[in-house]
Chain A
């Protein structure tokens, strides 16, 4: 074993890349040493994709006590184009997902439930009570197999037809892959 001591290791004139090591070999950064990067690093770690965030763009009316699929129709981003027809079907992996449903009503005490359902079965549920644009939200981690799909559902017990608030900050649905 030998030691190469230099201040700068760079390419020869006319060359644009420098290769360290070779396939099957290991480059070791010893304990206590630090790699300080001020440039662009690629290929390290993982990416939090697929990821998406979408929302309800116009009011949706829900009947009393009827669990209803929310028409999440507008995407803010959808990295892998796997959110279609109100459902998200990402590739296999573990995901953090979240959603919120908000009632477009105030001055009356209401109850609203927010559900994320996986393949049509309840996955995460939560109910909230309030009298000022009551909103309920859910979140959690879920394993998906590539054909599993998620949807956002809502239910209220306001006693009559009641609108769900549109816009990206009020009724929304999203998720991203967790690096494992």
Chain B
């Protein structure tokens, strides 16, 4: 199941909001009582979504989270940007080959 925060971001995007501040606009809470996370406060100008509405974003949110993880993995494997510039200066074709392999080894879903 996708993160509640990701589903809320998708709900907000679909309703015309570009971003959500989870410190002030939407407050999520988990009381560690086994019931899971819930919306503690909703301070946005659009209607607070029901859990059913949020559930409809689950598949897309999962996909986005997987791709975010893949982006993070790729970023780590690309390495430091300074080191990459050095690679490019020395042998740009070798650098292209290496970057292409990182992408191929970590395909987006």
- A residues sitting closer than 8 Å to B (CB atoms) are 60, 62-71, 86, 107-108, 157, 159-161
Contact = CB atoms under 8 A, between A and B. Distances in A.
B51 to A, nearest CB: 15
B32 A66 contact: no
Nearest to B6: A64
B69 interface: yes
A68 B22 contact: no
B21 to A, nearest CB: 10
Interface residues of B, number: 18
Contact of B40 (A67, A86, A107): A67
A161 B65 CA distance: 10
| Residue of A64, A65, A69 with most chain B CB atoms under a 10 A cut-off | A65
Contact of B69 (A70, A71, A160): A160
Interface string B28-58: 1111100001001000000000000000000
Contacts of A108: 72
Given A63-B3, A63-B37, A161-B3, A68 B29 contact: yes
Q: Is chain B's binding surface mostly helix, strand, loop or mixed?
A: mixed
B65 A66 contact: no
A152 B79 CA distance: 37
26 contacts: A62-B30, A63-B3, A63-B28, A64-B3, A65-B4, A65-B5, A65-B22, A66-B29, A66-B30, A67-B40, A68-B29, A68-B30, A68-B32, A68-B37, A69-B30, A69-B31, A69-B32, A70-B32, A86-B32, A157-B22, A159-B65, A159-B68, A160-B3, A160-B65, A160-B68, A160-B69
B30 to A, nearest CB: 4
